[in-house]
Structure 1
Amino acid sequence: MKSLFDETAKNEIENRIHKLSNASIPVWGKMDISQMFYHCQFPLKIALKKEYPPMKPSILAKLFFKKAMYNDKPWKKNLPTHPKLKVVDSKVFEEEKQRLLELVTEFSDKRTVSEWDPHPMFGKFTKDQWGKMQYKHLDHHLQQFSV
Protein backbone atom coordinates (compact mmCIF):
# COMPACT_ATOMS: atom_id res chain seq x y z
CA MET A 1 0.00 0.00 0.00
CA LYS A 2 1.28 3.43 -0.91
CA SER A 3 1.72 6.06 1.77
CA LEU A 4 1.06 9.78 1.68
CA PHE A 5 4.41 10.11 3.45
CA ASP A 6 6.10 8.98 0.23
CA GLU A 7 6.85 11.96 -2.05
CA THR A 8 6.01 10.01 -5.21
CA ALA A 9 2.62 8.94 -3.84
CA LYS A 10 1.90 12.47 -2.61
CA ASN A 11 2.70 13.88 -6.07
CA GLU A 12 0.47 11.26 -7.67
CA ILE A 13 -2.46 12.27 -5.44
CA GLU A 14 -1.91 15.96 -6.18
CA ASN A 15 -1.78 15.32 -9.93
CA ARG A 16 -5.00 13.33 -9.79
CA ILE A 17 -6.72 16.11 -7.81
CA HIS A 18 -5.60 18.63 -10.44
CA LYS A 19 -7.22 16.52 -13.18
CA LEU A 20 -10.66 17.08 -11.66
CA SER A 21 -12.95 19.93 -12.62
CA ASN A 22 -16.16 21.39 -11.29
CA ALA A 23 -17.93 19.29 -13.94
CA SER A 24 -16.46 15.98 -12.71
CA ILE A 25 -19.19 13.43 -12.04
CA PRO A 26 -18.97 10.55 -9.55
CA VAL A 27 -19.11 6.95 -10.70
CA TRP A 28 -20.83 6.06 -7.41
CA GLY A 29 -22.03 7.81 -4.26
CA LYS A 30 -24.05 10.90 -3.44
CA MET A 31 -21.36 13.58 -3.06
CA ASP A 32 -20.55 16.01 -5.82
CA ILE A 33 -16.91 16.91 -6.50
CA SER A 34 -16.79 19.88 -4.10
CA GLN A 35 -18.38 17.85 -1.31
CA MET A 36 -15.87 15.06 -1.94
CA PHE A 37 -12.98 17.52 -1.61
CA TYR A 38 -14.44 18.74 1.68
CA HIS A 39 -15.07 15.19 2.94
CA CYS A 40 -11.49 14.15 2.14
CA GLN A 41 -10.20 16.89 4.41
CA PHE A 42 -11.67 15.28 7.56
CA PRO A 43 -9.15 12.44 8.01
CA LEU A 44 -6.25 14.78 7.32
CA LYS A 45 -7.58 17.33 9.82
CA ILE A 46 -8.02 14.57 12.42
CA ALA A 47 -4.43 13.40 11.94
CA LEU A 48 -3.12 16.98 12.07
CA LYS A 49 -5.14 17.75 15.23
CA LYS A 50 -7.04 20.52 13.41
CA GLU A 51 -10.41 18.89 13.94
CA TYR A 52 -11.50 16.16 16.28
CA PRO A 53 -15.14 15.34 15.61
CA PRO A 54 -16.85 13.66 18.54
CA MET A 55 -16.77 10.00 17.56
CA LYS A 56 -17.24 7.20 20.03
CA PRO A 57 -14.42 4.67 20.13
CA SER A 58 -15.80 1.42 18.81
CA ILE A 59 -14.49 -2.02 19.72
CA LEU A 60 -16.29 -3.42 16.66
CA ALA A 61 -14.63 -0.85 14.41
CA LYS A 62 -11.25 -1.67 15.92
CA LEU A 63 -11.76 -5.42 15.53
CA PHE A 64 -13.38 -5.57 12.10
CA PHE A 65 -12.53 -2.41 10.17
CA LYS A 66 -9.31 -0.92 11.53
CA LYS A 67 -6.96 -3.08 9.42
CA ALA A 68 -9.03 -2.27 6.34
CA MET A 69 -8.08 1.37 6.85
CA TYR A 70 -4.48 0.74 5.78
CA ASN A 71 -4.19 -2.71 4.16
CA ASP A 72 -3.80 -3.39 0.42
CA LYS A 73 -7.40 -4.46 -0.16
CA PRO A 74 -9.46 -1.73 -1.92
CA TRP A 75 -12.56 -0.43 -0.18
CA LYS A 76 -15.92 -1.32 -1.64
CA LYS A 77 -17.95 1.36 -3.39
CA ASN A 78 -20.74 3.02 -1.41
CA LEU A 79 -19.39 2.13 2.03
CA PRO A 80 -21.35 3.91 4.76
CA THR A 81 -19.84 7.18 5.99
CA HIS A 82 -19.74 8.05 9.67
CA PRO A 83 -22.51 10.63 10.27
CA LYS A 84 -19.97 13.18 11.58
CA LEU A 85 -18.08 12.99 8.27
CA LYS A 86 -21.01 13.22 5.86
CA VAL A 87 -21.24 16.29 3.65
CA VAL A 88 -24.68 17.30 2.43
CA ASP A 89 -24.45 21.07 1.99
CA SER A 90 -22.99 22.82 -1.06
CA LYS A 91 -19.30 23.67 -1.19
CA VAL A 92 -17.19 25.90 -3.44
CA PHE A 93 -15.04 23.82 -5.80
CA GLU A 94 -11.85 25.93 -5.95
CA GLU A 95 -11.85 26.69 -2.21
CA GLU A 96 -12.24 23.05 -1.20
CA LYS A 97 -9.75 21.84 -3.80
CA GLN A 98 -7.15 24.32 -2.54
CA ARG A 99 -7.78 23.42 1.13
CA LEU A 100 -7.44 19.72 0.33
CA LEU A 101 -4.15 20.25 -1.52
CA GLU A 102 -2.82 22.30 1.39
CA LEU A 103 -3.76 19.58 3.88
CA VAL A 104 -2.18 16.87 1.71
CA THR A 105 1.08 18.84 1.73
CA GLU A 106 0.88 19.62 5.45
CA PHE A 107 0.27 15.97 6.30
CA SER A 108 3.01 14.73 3.97
CA ASP A 109 5.47 17.22 5.47
CA LYS A 110 4.99 15.47 8.85
CA ARG A 111 6.76 12.35 7.52
CA THR A 112 9.44 12.65 10.22
CA VAL A 113 6.93 12.65 13.10
CA SER A 114 7.04 9.24 14.74
CA GLU A 115 4.32 9.53 17.40
CA TRP A 116 0.76 10.34 16.40
CA ASP A 117 -2.32 10.94 18.52
CA PRO A 118 -4.88 8.15 18.45
CA HIS A 119 -7.78 8.27 16.02
CA PRO A 120 -11.03 9.19 17.81
CA MET A 121 -12.79 6.04 16.63
CA PHE A 122 -10.09 3.48 15.85
CA GLY A 123 -7.47 4.31 18.45
CA LYS A 124 -3.73 4.03 17.95
CA PHE A 125 -2.15 3.91 14.50
CA THR A 126 1.55 3.76 13.74
CA LYS A 127 3.10 6.44 11.54
CA ASP A 128 3.18 3.91 8.69
CA GLN A 129 -0.50 3.10 9.16
CA TRP A 130 -1.45 6.81 9.22
CA GLY A 131 0.37 7.40 5.92
CA LYS A 132 -1.23 4.40 4.24
CA MET A 133 -4.68 5.23 5.59
CA GLN A 134 -4.54 8.77 4.24
CA TYR A 135 -3.40 7.58 0.82
CA LYS A 136 -6.06 4.86 0.71
CA HIS A 137 -8.89 7.25 1.60
CA LEU A 138 -7.85 9.79 -1.03
CA ASP A 139 -7.29 7.08 -3.64
CA HIS A 140 -10.77 5.64 -2.95
CA HIS A 141 -12.48 8.99 -3.53
CA LEU A 142 -10.37 9.92 -6.54
CA GLN A 143 -11.38 6.62 -8.10
CA GLN A 144 -14.96 7.60 -7.29
CA PHE A 145 -14.42 10.48 -9.73
CA SER A 146 -12.54 8.39 -12.32
CA VAL A 147 -9.01 9.71 -11.72
Structure 2
Amino acid sequence: MKNIFTKEITEEVVARIEDLTSQTQPIWGKMSVAQMLAYCCVTYEMVYTDKHPRPNAFVRFLMKTLIKNIVTSEKAYVKNGRTAKQFVITDSKNFET
Protein backbone atom coordinates (compact mmCIF):
# COMPACT_ATOMS: atom_id res chain seq x y z
CA MET A 1 0.00 0.00 0.00
CA LYS A 2 1.32 3.43 -0.88
CA ASN A 3 2.13 5.90 1.89
CA ILE A 4 -0.09 8.97 1.42
CA PHE A 5 2.23 10.96 3.70
CA THR A 6 5.10 11.02 1.19
CA LYS A 7 5.35 13.97 -1.16
CA GLU A 8 5.41 11.89 -4.34
CA ILE A 9 2.32 9.86 -3.45
CA THR A 10 0.45 12.96 -2.28
CA GLU A 11 1.20 14.66 -5.61
CA GLU A 12 0.03 11.53 -7.47
CA VAL A 13 -3.28 11.48 -5.57
CA VAL A 14 -3.85 15.21 -6.09
CA ALA A 15 -3.17 14.79 -9.83
CA ARG A 16 -5.70 11.94 -10.00
CA ILE A 17 -8.31 14.09 -8.25
CA GLU A 18 -7.64 17.02 -10.59
CA ASP A 19 -8.16 14.71 -13.60
CA LEU A 20 -11.70 13.77 -12.48
CA THR A 21 -14.64 14.97 -14.56
CA SER A 22 -18.37 14.45 -14.26
CA GLN A 23 -17.98 11.71 -16.91
CA THR A 24 -15.28 9.74 -15.07
CA GLN A 25 -16.29 6.07 -14.87
CA PRO A 26 -15.92 4.13 -11.60
CA ILE A 27 -13.10 1.61 -11.41
CA TRP A 28 -14.07 0.02 -8.12
CA GLY A 29 -17.68 0.20 -6.99
CA LYS A 30 -20.91 1.65 -8.31
CA MET A 31 -20.89 5.27 -7.16
CA SER A 32 -20.66 8.13 -9.60
CA VAL A 33 -17.63 10.38 -9.33
CA ALA A 34 -19.75 13.00 -7.50
CA GLN A 35 -20.98 10.40 -5.00
CA MET A 36 -17.42 9.18 -4.46
CA LEU A 37 -16.22 12.70 -3.71
CA ALA A 38 -19.09 13.13 -1.25
CA TYR A 39 -18.08 9.81 0.33
CA CYS A 40 -14.52 11.05 0.74
CA CYS A 41 -15.79 14.21 2.46
CA VAL A 42 -17.74 12.37 5.17
CA THR A 43 -14.66 11.97 7.38
CA TYR A 44 -14.04 15.72 7.29
CA GLU A 45 -17.71 16.42 7.95
CA MET A 46 -17.53 14.17 11.00
CA VAL A 47 -14.53 16.05 12.37
CA TYR A 48 -15.38 19.64 11.47
CA THR A 49 -19.20 19.81 11.47
CA ASP A 50 -22.17 18.53 13.41
CA LYS A 51 -23.74 16.99 10.29
CA HIS A 52 -23.25 13.43 11.60
CA PRO A 53 -24.08 12.47 15.20
CA ARG A 54 -21.16 11.34 17.36
CA PRO A 55 -21.21 7.71 18.43
CA ASN A 56 -22.03 6.98 22.05
CA ALA A 57 -19.38 5.72 24.50
CA PHE A 58 -20.10 2.03 23.86
CA VAL A 59 -19.81 2.39 20.08
CA ARG A 60 -16.59 4.43 20.46
CA PHE A 61 -15.16 1.64 22.63
CA LEU A 62 -16.07 -0.97 19.99
CA MET A 63 -14.58 1.15 17.24
CA LYS A 64 -11.36 1.66 19.16
CA THR A 65 -10.91 -1.99 20.12
CA LEU A 66 -12.24 -3.80 17.05
CA ILE A 67 -12.36 -1.54 14.03
CA LYS A 68 -9.38 0.80 14.42
CA ASN A 69 -6.80 -1.91 13.73
CA ILE A 70 -8.64 -3.02 10.60
CA VAL A 71 -8.97 0.49 9.22
CA THR A 72 -5.40 1.57 9.99
CA SER A 73 -3.56 -1.62 9.06
CA GLU A 74 -1.61 -1.95 5.83
CA LYS A 75 -3.89 -4.74 4.62
CA ALA A 76 -6.00 -3.67 1.63
CA TYR A 77 -9.74 -3.29 2.13
CA VAL A 78 -11.88 -6.05 0.70
CA LYS A 79 -14.10 -5.20 -2.24
CA ASN A 80 -17.79 -4.77 -1.34
CA GLY A 81 -16.97 -4.62 2.37
CA ARG A 82 -19.50 -3.18 4.81
CA THR A 83 -19.35 0.51 5.56
CA ALA A 84 -20.81 2.75 8.23
CA LYS A 85 -24.18 4.21 7.35
CA GLN A 86 -22.77 7.76 7.37
CA PHE A 87 -20.61 6.82 4.40
CA VAL A 88 -23.38 5.33 2.27
CA ILE A 89 -24.11 7.83 -0.51
CA THR A 90 -27.24 6.87 -2.42
CA ASP A 91 -28.64 10.19 -3.60
CA SER A 92 -27.32 11.89 -6.71
CA LYS A 93 -24.72 14.60 -6.20
CA ASN A 94 -23.65 17.53 -8.36
CA PHE A 95 -20.03 17.04 -9.47
CA GLU A 96 -19.45 20.77 -10.02
CA THR A 97 -20.51 21.57 -6.44
Normalising by structure 2, report the TM-score.
0.73
Aligned residue in 2 for 1:11: 11
The CA distance in 1 between the partners of 2:95 and 2:8, in whole Å, is 25
**Preserved CA contact (<8 Å) 2:52 2:86:** yes
Shift of 1:88: 1.2
Aligned residue pairs total: 93
Flag structure 1 segments of 5+ consecutive residues without an equivalent: 96-147
Q: Is the 8 A contact 1:28 1:78 kept in 2?
A: no
Q: Which has the higher contact order (CA 8 A, sep 6+)?
A: 1
User: What is the percentage of aligned positions where both structures have the same residue?
Assistant: 27
| CA shift for structure 1 position 93 | 1.1
Alignment TM-score, normalising by the size of structure 1? 0.52
Residue 3 of structure 2 corresponds to which residue in structure 1?
2
* Residue matched to 1:80: 82
Structure 2: stretches of 5+ with no match in the other structure: none
Contact 1:35–1:87 (8 Å) recurs in 2: yes
The ranges of structure 1 where at least 4 consecutive aligned residues each deviate by more than 6 angstroms after the TM superposition are: none
The equivalences for 1:21-100 within 5 A come to 21-47=21-47, 49-51=48-50, 53-56=52-55, 57-95=59-97
